[in-house]
Amino acid sequence: MSTESQTAVHDEHHDHKPSGFLNRWLFTTNHKDIGTLYLVFSLLMFFIGGSMAMVIRAELFMPGLQLVEPEFFNQMTTMHALIMVFGAVMPAWVGFANWMIPMMIGAPDMALPRMNNWSFWILPFAFTMLLSTLFMDSGGPAAGWTLYPPLSLQGGQSFAFVVFAVHMMGISSIMGSINVIATILNMRAPGMTLLKMPLFVWTWLITAFLLIAVMPVLAGAVTMLLTDHFFGTSFFNAAGGGDPVMFQHIFWFFGHPEVYIMILPAFGVVSEIIPTFSRKPLFGYTAMVYATASIAFLSFIVWAHHMFTVGMPLTGELFFMYATMLIAVPTGVKVFNWVSTMWRGSMTFETPMLFAIGFVVLFTIGGLSGLMLAIAAVDLQYHDTYFVVAHFHYVLVPGSIFALMAGTYYWLPKWTGQMYSEKWGKIHFWVSAISVNILFFPQHYLGLAGMPRRIPDYSPQFADFNMISSIGGFIFGASQLIFVGVIIHCVYKSKKAATGRVWEGAKGLEWTLPSPAPYHSFDTPPPIDSTTIAHVETSH
C-alpha cells in the first residue's frame, strides 16, 4: 500500500509526457511509448500477414485454380511467413520486453532509450520496403521465406529490396537485444538477484543472446545471395564452384534458434500467468530457468534436421536426429512444471488463463508432432508436406500467438488503467481456440496422405480436409477482429478502472505500481521481498 501512495505523490511532478504528437511518438525515448509502438505495429503486421493467409486458404478452398496465378500464390506464402515471423511475432515480443522488463526488475526505463527509439523506427521502413516489392514489375519474393537458392536468385530486381529489408530487421532486432541485455544486467533494483527475476525476464535475456548470435548469420546469408544475384559471385551457384546446400546450412543455423526466439518469451509469459490464476507459486522455478537455457543451447546444434532429405551422410543424420530428440527433455520439464503449478492451486479462468491453458495444450500437440519429425527415417516421408505445416503452425499460432494474446489480456489493465471486457475476451478465446484447430489439425491428415506444402492446387483426394481447413482459417481470421475490438474498447471506452494489483493472485513488481503504470516506472528502487515479487529464492 505504502508503495502505491508514494508513487502517486511522485507522479505529480514527474509524470509529464512530451506534448505534441511527433514529440510523443516519433522522438520518444520512453519504454512504454516504444513498447506501445512495437505492439501496435506488430498487430498491424499480424493483419497484413493474416490477409495473405486468407488469400492462400481461399485459393486452396477447392481443387483447381480459382483466384490467383501460381506465381502470386508463391509470393503470398513467402510474404505471409516473412511478415508473420519478422513483422508480427518478433516485434510483438520486443514490445512486451519494452513494456514489462523495466517494470518487472524495478527500473525506471530501458538502459539505452535513444537506441530503443531507433530500433523501433527502422521497422516501418523495412516493412514498407518489403511490402513494396509486391507492386514492382518483378513481384515480391516467391521462393519461400527460407529463400533457398538457386530459386531465390531467379527473382527479379526487387530481390535487392527484400535483402535490404531483412538487413534492417536484423539491425533492429540486434539493437533491441543489446538493450534488453543491458537493461537486465545493469538496471535491476538492489536485491533483485538473477534468480529472483520473473521468468519472463529470464526467457527474454536468453532470447536476446540467441538473437545477437544468429541475426548476423542471416545477414551474411542474404548478403551472399545479393552478391550472387547482382555481382556475379558464386557462393551458392554450383556451376561457378559454389554450393546451394551450403545456404541451407547457414540459413538453418539462423533459422532453428529463430524458432526458439519466437517461443521462449511465450514460455516466460505463460510462466507468469499460470501461477497468478492458480494462486500458487510457479513450480520448479530454477528448473524452468535451466530448461530455458538448455533449449537455447540445443537450438544451435539441431539445424540440419530441416535438411534430412538433402543427402547428408548417415552419421550426420544420426547426430541431428539424436540432438533434436533431446530437446524434448527440457521442453517436457516445462510442460510438467506448468501442470504441477496448477495442481492443487485455486484456479480461476479469466481470459489470460484461458489463453495460457490453450497454449499449454496446443503447444504440447505441436511439440509432440515435432518429436515425430525428428525421427529422420520417417521424416523422409513427412518432410515438406502439410504435416510440417501443421506442426509449425501449432507451435506458432496457438503457441507464440496465443501467448502474446494471453500476455496482452494479462497486462492490458496495467497498461491502460482500465479493465477489458471479460465477456468479449472469453468469446475471442473460444472462437479462436476452436477455429485454430479446425484450421490446422486436418493439415496433419493432408500431409500424411501425401499433400506437399507450398502448392497452389492439389489432387481432388485432398479436397475435403482442405475445405475444412479453409473454413477454420476464415473463422480464425475473422475472430481476430474481436481482439482488436476488445483492445479499442479497453483503451478508449471502458469505464471499469483497474486496481494496482488487477488480479487477485498477481505477484511481481509491476503489480506494486498503480494502474495505469506511471510514465517513468520506478524512480526509486522498490523493496524486494516476498510481498512484492513472485519468485523468492528458496534454500534447501
Q: Point out the residues that are catalytic.
A: 80, 109, 145, 172-173, 256, 258, 260, 271, 305-306, 331, 334, 453
Evaluate whether 534 touches 282 at the Cβ level (below 8 Å): yes
Give CA–CA dist 517/515, Å, rounded: 5
Closest CA to 273 of 531, 508, 4: 508
**Selected binder of other proteins within 336, 392, 424, 519 (CB under 8 A):** 336
Stretch that binds other proteins, among 20-28, 251-259, 372-380, 426-434 (CB under 8 A): 372-380
Site string for other proteins, 282-301 (x = CB under 8 A): xxxxxx--------------
**Selected binder of other proteins within 58, 293, 431, 448 (CB under 8 A):** 448
Stretch that binds other proteins, among 160-168, 295-303, 460-468, 520-528 (CB under 8 A): 460-468
Q: Which residues, in sequence order, are CB contacts of 252 under 8 Å at separation 6+?
A: 303, 304, 306, 307
Question: CA 1, 353, 326: angle at the middle one, nearest 5?
Answer: 115
Contacts (CB under 8 A) with other proteins, residues 495-514: 505
**Residue 58 touches other proteins, criterion: CB under 8 A:** no
For other proteins, the closer of residues 85 and 342 by Cβ is 342
Contacts (CB under 8 A) with other proteins, residues 102-131: none
**Selected binder of other proteins within 162, 178, 333, 396 (CB under 8 A):** 333
**Residue 539 touches other proteins, criterion: CB under 8 A:** no
Give CA–CA dist 351/371, Å, rounded: 30
424 three-class SS: helix
**Residue 357 touches other proteins, criterion: CB under 8 A:** yes
**Residue 361 touches other proteins, criterion: CB under 8 A:** yes
Q: Which residues, in sequence order, are CB contacts of 163 under 8 Å at separation 6+?
A: 222, 223, 225, 226
**Selected binder of other proteins within 445, 471, 485, 525 (CB under 8 A):** 445
**Residue 206 touches other proteins, criterion: CB under 8 A:** no
Give CA–CA dist 47/115, Å, rounded: 27
**Selected binder of other proteins within 375, 431, 434, 438 (CB under 8 A):** 375
For other proteins, the closer of residues 174 and 403 by Cβ is 403
Stretch that binds other proteins, among 85-93, 126-134, 359-367, 423-431 (CB under 8 A): 359-367
**Residue 142 touches other proteins, criterion: CB under 8 A:** yes
418 phi/psi in degrees, rounded to 5: -130, 150
Q: How many residues bind other proteins (CB under 8 A)?
A: 105
Q: Which residues of 301-312 are buried (b: 16+ CB within 10 A; e: fewer)?
A: ebbbbbbbeeeb
For other proteins, the closer of residues 328 and 427 by Cβ is 328
E strand residue ranges, 153-241: none
Give me the sign of the Cα torsion angle 518, 520, 521, 525: negative
Question: CA 32, 33, 39: angle at the middle one, nearest 5?
Answer: 85
**Residue 347 touches other proteins, criterion: CB under 8 A:** yes
Evaluate whether 266 touches 403 at the Cβ level (below 8 Å): yes
Site string for other proteins, 13-42 (x = CB under 8 A): ------------------------------
Contacts (CB under 8 A) with other proteins, residues 299-318: 309-311, 314, 317-318
Closest CA to 333 of 298, 369, 288: 288
* Smallest distance, other proteins to C-beta of residue 524, A: 30
Question: CA 70, 159, 389: angle at the middle one, nearest 5?
Answer: 50
Q: Which residues, in sequence order, are CB contacts of 101 under 8 Å at separation 6+?
A: 31, 107, 110, 180, 183, 184, 200, 201, 204
**Selected binder of other proteins within 160, 371, 427, 467 (CB under 8 A):** 371
